[in-house]
Chain A
Amino acid sequence: MYRLLLCWRYLRTRYIALASIVSVMLGVATMIVVNAVMSGFANEMQSRIHGILSDVVLESVNFDGFPDAAWHMDRIRQAAGDSIQGMTPTVVVPAMLYFRVGDNKITRQVELIGIDEKTQADVSDFARYLQHPQNRLPGGLSFELRQAGYDVIDHQPNSGAKPRKEMALAGWKHRIRMAELEEFRMKLFKPSGGLKSTLPGGAAQQAGAEAVKDPFAAVPPAAVLPQSETFDAKKQQHSGLIMGIALASFRTPDGTDNFRVLPGDDVKLTVPRAGLGAGALTGPAVIEDDFTIVDFYESKMSEYDSCFVFVPIHQLQRLRGTIDPTNGVGLVNSIQIKLKPGADGAAVRDKLRAAFQPGLYAVSTWRDKQGALLQAVNMETAILNVLLFMIIAVAGFGILAIFLMIVVEKTKDIGVLKSLGASGTGIMGIFLGYGLSLGVAGSGVGMVMGLLFVRYINQVADILSWVTGQRVFDPSIYYFYRIPTVVYPKTIAWIVLGALAIAVLASILPAIRAARLHPVEALRYE
């Protein structure tokens, strides 16, 4: 009882000890904030990556891919049918994107993904990231250019992005306007020439020459090229294409997106064809074709937004010459698999690895695909935690020093308590309890401070930006408009417990010293 009472009285009368817990408090608050922000980022990233990638993907080792996706999907269903919710075949190839802005020619190296409009939405959140509301509806995905109605205000929650005024123009209206402008330009510079492009002819020729060697290319690729003498850009569109938003725009530091191209503009893709020369020593030939942007894809993962380009799978198969003319089945090189909620991705992966020959197929989960990135974030969090915990450890030494002083100051009182029959362990208990209460006070206040900071972190960032005149959180770098935070109660419990442990550990030495004080020495009055 006297322990509690004295603890309490010491707490209320020794303000210097309260000063020593300020560092505990700051340490705890900082750790909570850092952990919340780091897990916010990790969480946001994971959910985005997971939204973009399917749960499990079966890929062909062969660049050309494998025929008959339906047969493969049946086999997948046989191997792990009970945990599979949906599947879609895709073709993924590297490609070169080329477009013109005024007189500037811009090329981008992209990952070209041929998707099946009907089943793509079954395996990932692909549709959720599109900019036209109708494309986002279930089953509403279309590679036809919309009349208008693209999002001016970002539909994704908590983005806080500035309105994209240019998007209001996007659609057929923009296409017609651009075509008229082009017509006018042509007239201006080539009064005798028409609107004929020299490119398609060249492409067709090349494709034709290729067809002789390539058995898969029996359907002449030229047939898929809608470009012809009669192509009217004001009324017709090329094959549709969905482009990562960062390929089409750049973001200024104030968070405004500036678009170079809009849905309705035409771009050109250069794609490697399937099938190698007979000697297998020549690389794949390339073929190019025109596409019309019909929508933008914005996952807010800049890595994906700046390299993904989606086209209809049959269009890509035809372009690459991978459709079997006898039965119309095209080659695909990966199958995306969506699992039922709660299914174990790693288990399904292992089952599929057993079912498909490892030399020909690679099976991986989305975590495997992004393992390095997720690992890096976890690593960063761990290192930061270690460093910040050092702050609390330093605070522990502060407590140690102040406690030793208090023990010296209280020498006489300790002697009195012993003469009244208090045991050494009892005296020790006073100081351990004192340390614990300081720890509780410090980590408690620190916890509240940290949680408040996390709660209002964006406001704090705004104020800091305003005071320092520098952006604390630059959305043009992170592609998040607001700082994402996640608070895990378990993490907070660990931090608080750690701080308490340090406070108690730091008070052990002074407490032992107090307990060992000889009552006569302590009482000696001179």
Chain B
Amino acid sequence: MSEKVSLTDPIAKASSGLRGPHVAIHRRPAGQPTAGPIVRHDPAGESPAATAVQLEGRNLAKAYRKGNVEIPVLRGTNICVRRGEFLAIVGQSGSGKSTLLHLLGTLDAPDRGAVIFKGQRIDNLPLRRRDAFRNQSLGMIFQFYHLLPELTTLENVLAPLMIGQSIWTYLHKRGQYKARALQLLELVGLGHRLKHKPRELSGGEMQRAAIARALVTGPELLLADEPTGNLDRDNGREILEILGSLNRREKLTIVMVTHDQAIAARADRTVRLANGQVEAA
């Protein structure tokens, strides 16, 4: 690979060099201007040693306090996500799947243990660096989509860029950013619903918009928390197809949490979370 794109400037390559075969799942019109690669791989992470492990949770422990009672959720969980892998974490409700995902995504801090992203510990980084990590290197999708109701579909997709970039940079590169957001929305098949507010979209459409939002900064890692949990079977399958395609063609690393064994079967590898421990399924 000849890519020279850094994580801190995910869109740097936006206008130069069209890259490899794009994932085209839903009516991507021919000749549509493209705004760059869907996933930008860090050239530093291309060496064989680094490709092995992209994200690692070591001996993670987390407990929730309810009054005086401490309820342990994770008790020394170890998890390892390899680069380009589609990993499913299954477990019953309350088994701590979502908690584990939050810890991996630095949304929450573990009581004990460490989260390591590409060989660097990230759970104890300063707040600002963790915010930047979530913004630049991580995409997240949720069961309830969590689009911002005041913004249109397009604005929702652009939100991570608005957050990550200063107002001047954003206004300066608005054209590029918009092109990228359009590209992603086309990719997930929502090119025709740019100006709609989330409440005017169906569940499947909202989840697709959420995927486009998660990918807009070009992360290498996608964390998905029950992405199909609230969708009917057809819509759920389409979402999974998108995820699978992104994983195969763009080498996007995906960690998906689900309670449904059938959905987990779409992943490369499945682990089970039970009693606060990870075991191979």
Interface residue ranges, A against B (CB under 8 Å): 1-2, 4-6, 9-10, 13, 412-413, 415-424, 426, 518-520, 523, 525
As a 0/1 sequence over residues 170 to 207 of chain B, the CB contacts with chain A under 8 angstroms (1 = contact) are: 11000000000000000000000000000000000000
Using A2-B159, A417-B163, A421-B160 as known contacts, say yes or no to A412 and B146 having CB atoms under 8 A apart.
Answer: yes
Whether A421 lies near B136 (C-beta < 8 A) is yes
Is residue B270 contacting chain A, with contact meaning CB distance below 8 A? Answer: no
Using A13-B150, A523-B146 as known contacts, say yes or no to A420 and B167 having CB atoms under 8 A apart.
Answer: no
Whether B127 lies near A424 (C-beta < 8 A) is yes
20 contacting pairs across A/B (C-beta < 8 A): A1-B165, A1-B171, A4-B167, A6-B148, A10-B150, A416-B147, A417-B159, A418-B131, A419-B105, A420-B134, A421-B131, A421-B132, A421-B134, A421-B163, A423-B131, A424-B127, A519-B108, A520-B99, A523-B146, A525-B144
A476–B50 CA distance with the chains assembled, in angstroms: 94
Is residue B143 contacting chain A, with contact meaning CB distance below 8 A? Answer: yes
A46–B55 CA distance with the chains assembled, in angstroms: 79
Q: Which residues of B contact A523 (CB under 8 A)?
A: 107, 142, 146
A525–B140 CA distance with the chains assembled, in angstroms: 15
Given A421-B133, A519-B107, output 13 extra A-B contacts at Cβ < 8 Å.
A1-B167, A2-B163, A5-B162, A6-B150, A412-B146, A413-B148, A416-B147, A419-B146, A420-B135, A420-B213, A421-B132, A422-B163, A424-B127
Is residue B149 contacting chain A, with contact meaning CB distance below 8 A? Answer: yes
A518–B133 CA distance with the chains assembled, in angstroms: 17
Q: What bracket does the count of chain B residues touching chain A fall in?
A: 20 to 34
A126–B272 CA distance with the chains assembled, in angstroms: 102
Nearest first, the 5 A-B pairs at minimum CB distance are A421-B135, A9-B150, A2-B162, A1-B162, A421-B134
Q: Which residues of A contact B142 (CB under 8 A)?
A: 523, 525
Closest chain A residue to B148, Cβ basis:
A413
Listed residue (A413, A415, A421) with the most chain B CB atoms within 10 angstroms of its CB: A421
Q: Which residues of A contact B146 (CB under 8 A)?
A: 412, 415-416, 419, 523
Q: Which residues of B contact A9 (CB under 8 A)?
A: 150-151
**Shortest beta-carbon distance from A160 to chain B in Å:** 54
**Shortest beta-carbon distance from A230 to chain B in Å:** 97
Q: Which residues of B contact A10 (CB under 8 A)?
A: 150
Closest chain A residue to B169, Cβ basis:
A1
Whether B107 lies near A5 (C-beta < 8 A) is no
Q: Which residues of A contact B151 (CB under 8 A)?
A: 5-6, 9
Which of A419, A423, A426 is the one whose CB lies under 8 Å from B107? A419
Whether B131 lies near A520 (C-beta < 8 A) is no
Q: Which residues of A contact B162 (CB under 8 A)?
A: 1-2, 5
Q: Which residues of B contact A525 (CB under 8 A)?
A: 142-144
Q: Which residues of B contact A1 (CB under 8 A)?
A: 162-163, 165, 167, 170-171
**Shortest beta-carbon distance from B96 to chain A in Å:** 12
Q: Which residues of B contact A420 (CB under 8 A)?
A: 134-135, 140, 159-160, 163, 213
A6–B158 CA distance with the chains assembled, in angstroms: 13
